[in-house]
Amino acid sequence: MKRKDFLYLSGMGMGALLLPDLSAFGTPIDPLQALDGVDVKIKKELADVALNAAKSKGATYADIRIGRYLNQFVATREKRVQGVANTESYGVGIRVLANGCWGFAATNHVTKDAIAKAAEQAVAVAKANAKIQGEPIQLAPQKGYGEVSWKTPIEINAFEVPVKEKVDLLLNVNDVAMQNGANFINSVIFAVNEQKYFASTDGSYIDQDVHRIYPTFNVTKVDRESGKFKTRNALSAPSGKGYEYMHARPEDKVTGIVTRYKGRYDMLEDVKEAARVATEKVKAKSVEPGKYDLVLDPSHLWLTIHESVGHPTELDRVLGYEANYAGTSFLTLDKWESKKFKFGSDKVNIVADKTQVGSLGAVGYDDEGVKCKKWDLIKDGVLVSYQAIRDQAHIIGLTESNGCCYSQGWDDVQFQRMPNVSLQPGKEKLSVDDMIKNVEKGIYIIGDGSFSIDQQRYNFQFGGQIFYEIKEGKIVGMLNDVAYQANTQEFWNSCNAICDESDYRLGGSFNDGKGQPSQSSAVSHGSATTRFNGVNVINTARKI
Amino acid sequence: MAILSKEEAQAILKKVIGFSKADFCEVGLNGSDGGNIRYARNAVSTAGQISTMSLGVSSTFGKKTGTATINEFDDASLQKVVKRAEELAMLAPENPEFMPPLGPQTFAESNTYNAKTAAMTPDTRAEMVGKSLSVSKAAGLDAAGFLENSTRFNAIMNSKGLFAYNKGTDVSFSVTVRNKQGTGSGYVEQGFNDLDKMDTLALSKIAASKANGSAGAKAIEPGKYTVILEPLAASDIIGNMFRGFDARSADEGRSFMSKKGGGTRLGEQLFSENVNIYSDPMNTEIPSSTFTGEGLPVKRTQWVEKGVVKNLSYSRYWAAQKNVQPLPFSRSMIIEGGTQSLEDLIKSTEKGILVTRFWYIRSVDPQTLLLTGLTRDGTFYIENGEIKFPIKNFRFNESPVIMLNNVEALGKPVRTGSGLIPPMKIRDFTFTSLSDAI
């Protein structure tokens, strides 16, 4: 065993509790062991076994997903490696339609016999559930693509980069933070590789290799005398890229009062600023509550878009399938049918896009074999569509799925998940500086913080990482204790300026939860810096 | 296969330890077997059955530890996983916070297992969900719910002679019932070890009643109100606070338990005098395992007594640094209450708001534990001891520390979330805005 393998896992004993629940991701493995995917010919043979077995038992439709899911976590704290783990999860999920009802079964025994048996179980489940099923499932037609493939366009496979290189980087990041005044720092690099094979009775055999990466940290500054402590998180965005994401070039940096990043990320530079900002935050003044014009950086606005646009336009929520968990949606079908529901101001154009290069949600085909695409959700401020999959398409008059079906693993059933949902940049040239010049009383917010929204997505409250007070067109200092509250529709109708494409950047989430049992998905949200006028800001300071 | 007896688990672990050549070897074995049904729009949407078992080995040479896991159990696989852990340990950096494994310990026999729950089948689940659906269908309402059960075991052994085994069962149920107009919603959630305690019919009737009763909600101004929190609502908001009972983060100055100028708030009167909080793995209503993952015995612990913080949790490493005994944290907190029912609390309230549950609770400020979130699925205005009318949902911004300083009365605790929690009457609870959500 080589040094670079030194602890593909040794951190498990030391710090597994500090990492995400690894059992959700699979069995720990050697990092290089599973990088070579299973031969596509073998996967096709296995897929045909499942599809034939399902059909022979009476399925009118069947699909199979053969998946190998790799995750790598490298986590450190100050001068210590807390945990390094590689996990693998490999198996098969089979979904069928029989007697007008869905059935699903999964197995980690990837053999022809076990797959045939799972296919039969899936049909049995469908037939059992059909007895209490209401209307039969209607599946939007989908042509077979034959044998096709797709891969995330990466330059460096993160799993091939030695663990030592990642450990050294993170320990260096920690050192820079401590040298610049931080008291504590946690830093992490998290990499994902989904090797997914999909086949269906429509005649598709789709092989995909999906990569994602997320470097992040949390810096804490403690002022013992006052008893106060403040934190600042990384301004990185999780990304649908390879390890090249960690090698930022000058053109990847957005300079300003704080450096932000587009395309690629400079972790060492960001942590140095984070230590400075955390120290500054301890002394910053507390905000006066009231109405402010908010200038929201894309590193912050992505989360507002996610919660207030991404989730309420999910058709399964609109219909009530998430009522017991994530909730429903205020964007009911009658609002869409009216064709004039004013979701936002005329400047608001929001698209769903599963093809955007570098985004977390980009794939060639979704998890029910639909080729991915881009479509409008909000056009000139009006609600024009939802996010639908094959068994929902007919409800909104579509003849084909939007292609946004996803499952977190081979052993979970696929269902409707959010594609990348992004606010389009302004059509006229506008820089951040020019936007701020026109603000009399405002707050410029950078980075995501606390977030909460009701179960129908009306009322929300957001915090942030860094808050700058704007007075008469100028930034005059830093603020603390800022959170803004609004109603989604009123908020988006107060949008009155969006910077141009040169400021457009992606943010996103690695772990968006939905479903029971809960599943996680990764999604990006793009925007340029955007201004919202007259938003209610509260002061969150308390004494205990 | 997934659920092993104590003797079966011990035999595998002994064999694994026997293969070890390391200075120390610690082995963990766990398995679970269970299933679920999800439903919405009064019909089943998904159902599943899952069975898993896995083994983890940690080997240590000096202060260098390696860990490997496997889910195959033949001798060759067991030898392989031990060898792999030892190879990794030789390559690992020294862990400055390494603590040698514990020797043999004495553990109480837990009461987490129930044979009837373990015997649940897909038919049992379907029957229980059928009862829930019968309520919503008969009342012309829509139900969306989730029923899940599991049997699980875990066993640990180390080369210094420690062995522990626990087996447990769980069944959990939640349902949201909404009226067809989308103007009313009700919710219930319950979890037990014992299947006999789970009554999906009665619970669904409560959710249906709240769905009908919450229709036509009126808007009232946000502000500070006396609230009666049903146990689920109280649990939602207080559960976040317990993570702060960690001595290390308090000592490091980054917790609400940190003291200005250094040190912790251990021994301070932090809450109202009627607040008493403890954990006890042997509690019959909310039993839990009697040992931690590294083999520390878990015993009854008083965390808060008459509002005074009596204990903070100490990891073995941090306890050694501070020269105190290690004290494991418990996820199953018990808040002592009185004998009053929820109805009694309502009767004694002149003006107030009854909250069924909270939703989307997030930390706003870790310094003060300020949380935000919203009421959901049944919020009602109380006047002169009676529920007068349903009201629109509120967003709150409140700290559980402040909240537990404003406790007027506590009712009879019930199992909810991960604790045994009483309904609570709290004065001056801060609602900051209205929500149109139903």
Question: Is residue B107 very low, low, confident or very high in pLDDT (cuts 50, 70, 90)?
Answer: very high
- Single-letter amino acid, residue A379: K
Per-residue pLDDT at A486 exceeds 80: yes
Q: What is the mean pLDDT of residues A386-411?
A: 96
* pLDDT reported for residue A89: 85
Sheet of B333-335, strand order: B308-309, B301-305, B277-279, B333-335, B419-421, B414-416
Average pLDDT over residues B380-386: 98
What per-residue confidence (pLDDT) applies to B41? Answer: 93
Distance CA A102, CA A278 (A): 52
Using one digit for the tens of pLDDT, what is the confidence trace for B222-243? 999 999 999 999 998 998 898 8
Q: Which residues contact B344 (CB under 8 A, 6 or more apart)?
A: B411
| CA A51/CA A200 separation, integer angstroms | 7
Indicate whether A472 pLDDT > 60: yes
- Chain A residue with the nearest C-alpha to that of B65: A10
Task: Return the pLDDT at A30.
Answer: 58
B204: Cα within 13 Å, side-chain hemisphere: 24
Top-confidence residue, A83 or B262: B262
* pLDDT digits 0-9 by tens, A102-158: 999 998 888 999 999 999 999 998 998 888 777 899 999 999 999 999 999 999 999
Confidence of residue B244 (pLDDT cuts 50, 70, 90): confident
Question: Structure pTM?
Answer: 0.94
CB A270 within 8 A of CB A525: no
Give residues 159 to 198 of A whose Cβ lies within 8 Å of B: 183-184
- Dump pLDDT digits (tens) for B339-379: 999 999 999 999 999 999 999 999 999 999 999 999 999 99
The mean per-residue pLDDT over the stretch A193-220 comes to 98
| Least Cα separation, residue B80 to chain A (angstroms) | 13
Task: List the one residue out of B251, B258, B214 whose CA is nearest residue B381.
Answer: B214
Q: How confident is the model at residue A33 (pLDDT cuts 50, 70, 90)?
A: low
Interface of B with A in 384-423 (CB under 8 A): 393, 395, 397, 399, 401-402
Cα-Cα-Cα-Cα dihedral of A10, A11, A12, A15, to 10°?
150
Give the best residue of A286, A454, A518 to mutate against chain B (max B CB count within 10 A).
A454
Contact of A494 with chain B, judged by CB distance below 8 Å, is answered with no
Interface test with B, best of A25, A90, A467, A542 (most B CBs within 10 A): A542
H or E segment at A248? none
In this structure, of A16-20, A418-422, A509-513, the range with the lowest mean pLDDT score is: A16-20
Say whether B15 sits in a helix, a strand or coil: helix
Q: Report whether pLDDT(B416) > 70.
A: yes
CB contact under 8 A, B254 and A541: no
Q: Do the chains contact at A320 and B178, CB–CB below 8 Å? A: yes
The model's pLDDT over B297-325, given as tens digits with 9 standing for 90+, comes to: 999 999 999 999 999 999 999 999 999 99
> Which among A247, A316, A542, A294 has a CA at the least distance from the CA of A435?
A294
How many CB pairs (< 8 A) connect A and B?
223
pLDDT for position A27 = 57
Residue A540, pLDDT above cutoff 90: yes
pLDDT at A18: 34
What is the predicted ipTM? 0.93
Give the pLDDT score at A225. 87
Rounding to the nearest 10 degrees, give the CA dihedral for residues B257, B260, B266, B271.
-70
User: Which tokens hold the place of A97?
Assistant: 């339609």
Do A212 and A71 touch, CB atoms closer than 8 A?
A: no
Mean pLDDT across the stretch A10-16? 32
* CB interface of B with A, residues 150-209, below 8 Å: 174-176, 178, 182, 185, 187
Does B117 score more than 50 pLDDT?
yes
Inform me whether the pLDDT recorded for A249 exceeds 90: yes
Distances in Å between the Cα of A44 and the Cα atoms of A65, A474, A512, B178 are 11, 62, 31, 45
Residues of B in contact with A459 (CB under 8 A): 374, 393, 395, 433-437
CB within 8 Å: A320 and B40: yes
For residue B36, the chain A residues in CB contact (below 8 A) are: 516-517
The pLDDT of residue A25 is 52
Given a cut of 90, whether residue A21 has pLDDT beyond it is no
pLDDT tens sequence across A260-293: 999 999 999 999 999 999 999 999 999 999 999 9
d(CA B224, CA B352): 10
Share of chain A above pLDDT 70, in %: 94
Query: pLDDT-derived band of residue A13, with 50, 70 and 90 as boundaries?
Result: very low
For the segment B401-423, the average pLDDT, to the nearest whole number, is 94
